[in-house]
Structure 1
Amino acid sequence: MRIVVTNCNTTQEMTAEIVRGARSAAGQGTTVTGLTPAWGPESAEGWLDSYLSAAAVLDTLRTHDGPPYDAVVMAGFGEHGREGVRELVDVPVVDITEAAAHLACLLGRRYGVVTTLERSRGQIEDSLELAGVGRNCAAVVGTGLGVLDLGDTGRTQAAFLAAAERARDAGAEVLVLGCAGMTGLQRAVGEKLGLPVVDGVAAAVKLAEALVTMGLRTSRAGSLAKPVPKRRTWGAGRD
């Protein structure tokens, strides 16, 4: 089985870190390949970045000429483009945002998301609502760290623990890592928190494997039906 993991930004180092986490979660016989957009934001941190990232990821998959793959994992927490990718490709597409939330709902009644900057809360909340798991979210809490600040392990762990306590006080019984760059952090902080911590990258990989093994694909009925190819008419008559 071959899984493609798409980074939502152009930072190659983050793609490599995400792929390491994905491979550690993958089962025997699963190959994980990372894709980094050639253009777009260096780090996706806000509405504008998110929309640009969605277009870049879609373009990357649309023009991909590598080996065929069996599933796509979208490694951008709360980022846009999920439904567009499902319409574009003919294999299962699993977004780390909804994958983590769905697994968290199996472990407790309410979960909390610990993410990077507070300004990311709105789009994460919208993404969870669209995925149908927003009502179980007790809180989305920012650490105050930017995506590219997550390489400082000691600082990241301290900020995560402080934010996680706020989420727990808000009623969270399970915690979700709210950024693909936090992959691996669950092992370091899970015991200190006394709560289950779900990593979206690992969750998405395991769900993607399950969908492929079960022979399930995205429905083509209704909203995700393949669009009818359009003949380009804009600019007609111009030299």
Structure 2
Amino acid sequence: MRLLLVNANTSQNITEKLAIEARLSLPADWQLSTATGTFGAAVIQTRRDCAIAEHACIEAVEAHVADHAEGCDAVVVGVSLDTGLWALRESLTVPVVGLLEASLLTACLVGGRYGLVVMGPQTVPLYRELVERHGLAARLAGIEAIAAGAPAVHAAPEQFELSLVEASNRLVADGAECVILVGAVVAGLHRRLQSRVSVPLLDGMACAVNQACGLARLELPRAEADKTAPG
């Protein structure tokens, strides 16, 4: 079986970083393919970026499916803002899972309330809106933002990790029973930092890959509103 990881922004290095993490969670009988957006923002941070990246995401998936005879059995949208998620679900017959949605749903299974650690204060309103759209705002303990771009992360990785730990522990103090580390730059760091935080740390890619592959194995028909709405 084959999982398609689509990155809606134009940064190939982000795709590669996410793919490394995805393979750690991929079942042994699955293969991974990747697709990257060909236009739009290098890193999605604004509503404008999201609007453009949604088009890029759809186009990247359609191009991959057209160019590869094997197609795919499930899709993971490798953007923490779940860009293009609903549009792809409407157009594809295979399961489509977003990083944030998968993290939120996993968090609800792990604990009562959850918190988010996000990259950049400017993204906080976007994540609040997305949590609302997913219908899970009532269980949100809070959002902590770290003002750290990729150059700063690479220049001072220990300080960056300390910032993640401190932000996570502030959320725990505010009542979070698990914490989601949000963004490609933090992919895989939950393993390194778990011993320094008293509640479970969740990684979006690990959550999304497990959910996407699990849904594919269920072989469910696609949900359609006009068929499932009560008569």
Check whether TM > 0.5. yes
Tell me which residue corresponds to 1:234: none
Deviates more, 1:54-63 or 1:198-207: 54-63
C-alpha distance in structure 2 between counterparts of 1:50 and 1:147, whole Å? 19
**Cα 1:134/1:97, change in 2 over 3 Å:** same
Tell me which residue corresponds to 1:2: 2
How many residue pairs were aligned? 224
Structure 1 residue identity aligned to 2:96: V
The SS at the match of 1:38 is coil
Identity of aligned residues (%): 27
Tell me which residue corresponds to 1:130: 133
**Normalising by the residue count of structure 1, what TM-score does the alignment of the two structures yield?**
0.88
Displacement, 1:4?
A: 0.5
Structure 2 residue identity aligned to 1:220: E
2:200 aligned with 1:196: yes
* 2:8/2:83 contact within 8 Å kept: no
Tell me which residue corresponds to 1:169: 173
User: Could you say which structure has the larger radius of gyration?
Assistant: 1
Can you list the C-alpha shifts for 1:123-162, whole angstroms capped at 9, x where unaligned? 1111122112221111111111135654453233122112
Deviates more, 1:62-71 or 1:203-212: 62-71
* 1:77/1:97 contact within 8 Å kept: yes
The alignment's C-alpha RMSD in Å is 1.8
Displacement, 1:81?
A: 1.9
C-alpha distance in structure 1 between counterparts of 2:154 and 2:136, whole Å? 29
Displacement, 1:170?
A: 2.0
Tell me which residue corresponds to 1:76: 79
**Cα 1:8/1:140, change in 2 over 3 Å:** farther
Displacement, 1:223?
A: 9.7
Aligned pair partner of 2:120 in 109, 117, 120: 117
Can you list the C-alpha shifts for 1:163-202, whole angstroms capped at 9, x where unaligned? 2122222211100011133111100111101110111101
Structure 1 residue identity aligned to 2:40: G
C-alpha distance in structure 2 between counterparts of 1:22 and 1:151, whole Å? 21
5+ residue gaps, structure 2, are none
As a proportion of its length, which structure holds more helix? 2
